[in-house]
Amino acid sequence: MRRVYMDHNGTTPVHPEVLEAMMPFFKEQFGNASSIHWAGREVKKYVDEAREKVASLLNASPAEIVFTGCGTESDNMAIKGVAFALKDKGRHIITTRVEHHAVLHTGQFLEKMGYEVTYLPVDRDGLIDLEDLRRSIKPQTVLITIMFANNETGTIFPVQEIGEIAREKGVIFHTDAIQAVGKLPIDLRRLPVDILSLSGHKIYAPKGIGAQYIRTGTKLMPLIHGGGQERNRRAGTENIPYIVGLGKASEIAQRDFPKRYDHFLALRDRLQEGILSQIPHVQLNGHPTKRLPNTLNLSFLCIEGESLLLNLDLEGIAVSSGSACTAGSSEASHVLLAMGVPPEVAQSAIRFSLGWANTQEDVDYVVEVLPRIVKRLRDMSPLYQRYVSSPK
Ligand code: PLP
């Protein structure tokens, strides 16, 4: 059976060049980067090189990059790190209702510790009102944490404008750019962002490696205490093979960016048009244009997203209903609900997220298989029969 993977916002396969770059560090290059003997010195060089590559992808300085264990750790490090470092200045944090749970649950944890967190609402496209943000800032606000692009819908936030407001008010701005890195141009010499989180497995490096950009001078308390690694910002012996892998993935993301961007857009538009032209009663979730080039989130009215996902899986097609981290629970996506999507429409959502290795044939296969499945499921659905006889 043909297999098509369209869940790249969930995770990406390791790029062959990344794997190749990592291999020596599982074998002969086994040193500890903190050792001063030859084995340590040899690998330290590669850690430095990887840091330069991550910095270069973001147009930042290598000294501003810290390696972490994953994207979730980076988000935690930013939010708790600022909250704890500035607790005497103020204990108010602003975020949005559509963040990843790595941010939302960290916010909830801080609330239990006595902090106040404002969760900004979003509109039907998934965007915040900038005036609302401005009004929410108080003298006690120490951090604004708003994602660069949403993992479920792909909606892109106005990071430039948010950063300008944060600067004007003297508040630190963190952005979870885990879905944006490699898919959108990011220039941290121009963008007013103080802290930025990224994750390896969304950019063709392995799972279990992340990084954090911390603008020089930004106050942050370390999350993990121990040795003096990462200039005392993140203790623990460096995971050298994975750091090297993230460096290589960053180099490739920078090298192939224009090619990948055009490839994503062409395939995504073909997929979107193919589905919308053949299947009635399908709704696009997310901003129609301000959206990640690889992401397409659609609600197939009167069908359970989960059933659609399982039926696609039987045909070898891997997609996601809701975000991967909440999959398994049948609750509607918190992101879509926050956007005002009715629960039954949110429950019928499927996310297609393309990767660089997807082809036009993959898209055409999905467009061929999907209408059949949707028709079969709708034919069995009394809800659909009622809906078509009197659409809302
Ligand atoms: N933030 C966003 C927007 C994500 O999409 C993800 C992963 O799905 C994470 C955070 C968590 O990253 P990781 O899986 O590396 O912990």
Ligand 1: nearest atom to the Cα of 150 = 3
Residue scoring higher pLDDT (388 or 174): 174
User: Which token pair is 89?
Assistant: 């200045």
Mean of pLDDT values over 37-58: 97
> What pLDDT is recorded for position 62?
98
**Residue 69 pLDDT > 90, yes or no?**
yes
CA–CA dist 12, 118 (Å, integer) = 32
**Residue 49 pLDDT > 70, yes or no?**
yes
Cβ of 206 closer than 6 Å to ligand 1, yes or no, is no
Cβ of 118 closer than 6 Å to ligand 1, yes or no, is no
Task: Look up residue 264 and give its amino acid.
Answer: F
> What pLDDT is recorded for position 37?
96
Residue 295 backbone phi and psi in degrees, to 5: -110, 135
**Residue 288 pLDDT > 70, yes or no?**
yes
CA of 90 to the centre of ligand 1 (A): 27
Q: Give SS3 for 200.
A: helix
CA–CA dist 220, 173 (Å, integer) = 12
> What pLDDT is recorded for position 246?
98
Please pick, among 113, 310, 314, 325, the residue that the annotation labels catalytic. Answer: 325
Residue 285 backbone phi and psi in degrees, to 5: -105, 130
Residue scoring higher pLDDT (366 or 321): 366
Q: Are 369 and 283 in contact (CB under 8 A)?
A: no
Q: How far is CA 275 from CA 62, 127, 368, 369, in A?
A: 44, 25, 9, 10
Q: How confident is the model at residue 68 (pLDDT cuts 50, 70, 90)?
A: very high
Q: Are 240 and 47 in contact (CB under 8 A)?
A: yes
CA of 102 to the centre of ligand 1 (A): 7
User: Which token pair is 30?
Assistant: 């086994």
> What pLDDT is recorded for position 331?
82
Ligand 1: nearest atom to the Cα of 210 = 15
User: Which token pair is 291?
Assistant: 């959206």
User: Which token pair is 289?
Assistant: 């244009």
How many other CB atoms are found less than 10 A from the CB of residue 139? 9
User: Which token pair is 99?
Assistant: 């963040």
What ranges do the domains of the chain cover?
A: 4-11+257-389, 16-253
CA of 10 to the centre of ligand 1 (A): 8
Ligand 1: nearest atom to the Cα of 200 = 15
The fold of the 4-11+257-389 domain, in CATH, is Aspartate Aminotransferase, domain 1 (3.90.1150)
Q: Mutual orientation of helices 38-58 and 240-278 as an angle, nearest 10°?
A: 30
In the chain, % of residues over pLDDT 70: 97
Residue to mutate (ligand 1; options 147, 148, 199; most atoms within 8 A of CB): 199
Q: Which residues contact 111 (CB under 8 A, 6 or more apart)?
A: 117
Cβ of 70 closer than 6 Å to ligand 1, yes or no, is yes
> What pLDDT is recorded for position 391?
62
Residue to mutate (ligand 1; options 73, 96, 145, 179; most atoms within 8 A of CB): 179
User: Which token pair is 79?
Assistant: 């939010």
Q: Are 97 and 334 in contact (CB under 8 A)?
A: yes
> What pLDDT is recorded for position 388?
82
> What pLDDT is recorded for position 120?
98
DSSP for residue 62: G
Residue bearing the CA closest to ligand 1, atom 14: 71
Cβ of 326 closer than 6 Å to ligand 1, yes or no, is no
In the chain, % of residues over pLDDT 90: 93
Cβ of 210 closer than 6 Å to ligand 1, yes or no, is yes
Q: Are 74 and 97 in contact (CB under 8 A)?
A: no
Mean of pLDDT values over 259-266: 96
How does pLDDT run across 318-328, given as a tens digit for each residue? 999 965 555 55
How does pLDDT run across 233-255, given as a tens digit for each residue? 999 999 999 999 999 999 999 99
Q: Are 195 and 223 in contact (CB under 8 A)?
A: no
Q: How confident is the model at residue 130 (pLDDT cuts 50, 70, 90)?
A: very high
Ligand 1: nearest atom to the Cα of 207 = 15
> What pLDDT is recorded for position 392?
57
Residue bearing the CA closest to ligand 1, atom 12: 71
Q: Are 127 and 96 in contact (CB under 8 A)?
A: no
Cβ of 234 closer than 6 Å to ligand 1, yes or no, is no
302 classed as catalytic: no
Q: How far is CA 389 from CA 276, 280, 283, 348, in A?
A: 20, 14, 18, 19
User: Comparing 59-68, 99-108, 383-392, which segment has the lowest mean pLDDT?
Assistant: 383-392
> What pLDDT is recorded for position 145?
99
Mean of pLDDT values over 264-292: 97
Q: How far is CA 48 from CA 67, 97, 155, in A?
A: 11, 37, 34
SS3 content of the chain, % helix, strand, coil (to 5): 45, 15, 40
Residue to mutate (ligand 1; options 95, 184, 202; most atoms within 8 A of CB): 202
Single out the residue of 253, 229, 248, 257 nearest to residue 51, CA to CA.
Answer: 248
Please list the residues that pair with 196 across neighbouring strands. 175, 213
Cβ of 178 closer than 6 Å to ligand 1, yes or no, is yes
Cβ of 147 closer than 6 Å to ligand 1, yes or no, is yes
Single out the residue of 279, 281, 278, 277 nearest to residue 388, CA to CA.
Answer: 281
How does pLDDT run across 226-236, given as a tens digit for each residue? 999 999 999 99
How does pLDDT run across 170-223, given as a tens digit for each residue? 999 999 999 999 999 999 999 999 999 999 999 999 999 999 999 999 989 999
Q: Are 374 and 303 in contact (CB under 8 A)?
A: yes
Chain centroid, CA 77 distance in Å: 16
> What pLDDT is recorded for position 14?
98
Ligand 1: nearest atom to the Cα of 149 = 3
Q: State which H helix or E strand residue 343 sits in.
A: helix 343-346
Residue to mutate (ligand 1; options 67, 105, 178, 204; most atoms within 8 A of CB): 178
**Residue 332 pLDDT > 80, yes or no?**
yes
> What pLDDT is recorded for position 385?
84
> What pLDDT is recorded for position 390?
75
Q: Which residues contact 341 (CB under 8 A, 6 or more apart)?
A: 124, 285, 299, 332, 349
> What pLDDT is recorded for position 381?
85
CA of 75 to the centre of ligand 1 (A): 9
Q: Are 169 and 137 in contact (CB under 8 A)?
A: yes
Mean of pLDDT values over 110-120: 98
Residue bearing the CA closest to ligand 1, atom 8: 10
Which class would CATH give 16-253? alpha beta
Cβ of 102 closer than 6 Å to ligand 1, yes or no, is yes
